Chain A
């Protein structure tokens, strides 16, 4: 039963994704690989839409993936699956607030979790780069690289990191500009 599986998959993502924002991305990659409900390329598109619309990225991604998999009921069920573990855990933690914050085992567990979470997001990023910046089917050489895409990536990187007036701009600006470049240069 697709609805039950959707709920369960997103419940797992909500339970194990630590650190917010893109932390759910590795779990969604994992769901894509195991279920075939959507592809990693679709996931990259969903990420762009989720970053460009209001609401927390994780929630937007769950709604989008749920909708792609099983329409409107799917969107609702995936989102509820994602937030259910949070709600349960926070309701429990709220009862022991101070003890939880000062617990040395909790703190040391998170000392290990944060680098792991960062690494999983990095791996997801490398996955998107493989899809986008290189022609994975080609032998290594000049034609292995997708040069127009690399050039666009370099420009966006410079504008988001080093150019004072543009690096504070909202990501939606870069997403829309990249869409326009993609249409004009027929990416």
Chain B
């Protein structure tokens, strides 16, 4: 098979089989990309994940771009990424259309009111998990508290916080503060 097509289809398959993205995707990538296709080693995959976590954007997309680029250069990176997002586009568009058509029904509104309660708890759990990998010392706690307070009580854009926090990280660590 043409490798460009293969990249698109393989990552489309990974996209269909991943719920939630991020770490949930690692075992599926290992099976499809490392074991079945031999496009990368386990070590490379771990590297891509680590970099995906510390570069902007969606980790799943970053990893797809990396592997596609390694196989077939820039067009390969783009095709792997398009493959990865293709199932989401199709599935969500269909669902969104259906939900829009039924959203005036009373029981659908009750269902979503129940679902929103569940979403609160899921976000809370996600924050606890993020906290463990993000906050390692007092300075981390200070940055967390400052950004949380400012987000809740000022209309500043998240972009301001991202830039300020990156700058604060560089200053704290290079002036000798914080755990390395």
Contact = CB atoms under 8 A, between A and B. Distances in A.
Interface of A: 12, 14-22, 24-27, 30, 33, 41, 44-45, 47-60, 63-64, 67-68, 72, 75-76, 79, 82-83, 85-87, 89-91, 93-94, 97, 100-101, 104-126, 128-129, 131-133, 149, 152-153, 156-157, 160-161, 170-172, 174-175, 177-183, 185-187
Contacts of A15: 56-57
Nearest to A24: B58
Given A55-B88, A118-B130, A160 B125 contact: yes
Given A59-B88, A118-B135, A153-B120, 7 more contacts: A19-B53, A20-B53, A60-B91, A86-B56, A111-B169, A115-B135, A120-B147
B39 to A, nearest CB: 14
Nearest to B49: A20
18 contacts: A15-B56, A19-B53, A24-B58, A33-B155, A48-B112, A55-B18, A56-B22, A56-B85, A63-B85, A90-B51, A91-B65, A112-B165, A114-B133, A116-B147, A177-B118, A178-B115, A182-B113, A187-B117
Contacts of B151: 26, 119-120, 123
Given A115-B143, A132-B120, A174-B118, A30 B158 contact: yes
A82 B85 CA distance: 10
Classify chain B's interface size.
Answer: 35 or more
A115 B147 CA distance: 8
A151 B147 CA distance: 30
B115 A122 contact: no
B33 interface: no
B144 interface: yes
B121 interface: yes
Contact of B110 (A49, A123, A175, A183): A183
Contact of B54 (A21, A41, A106, A182): A106
Given A111-B169, A131-B116, A186-B110, A123 B55 contact: no
Nearest to B162: A16
Nearest to B158: A26
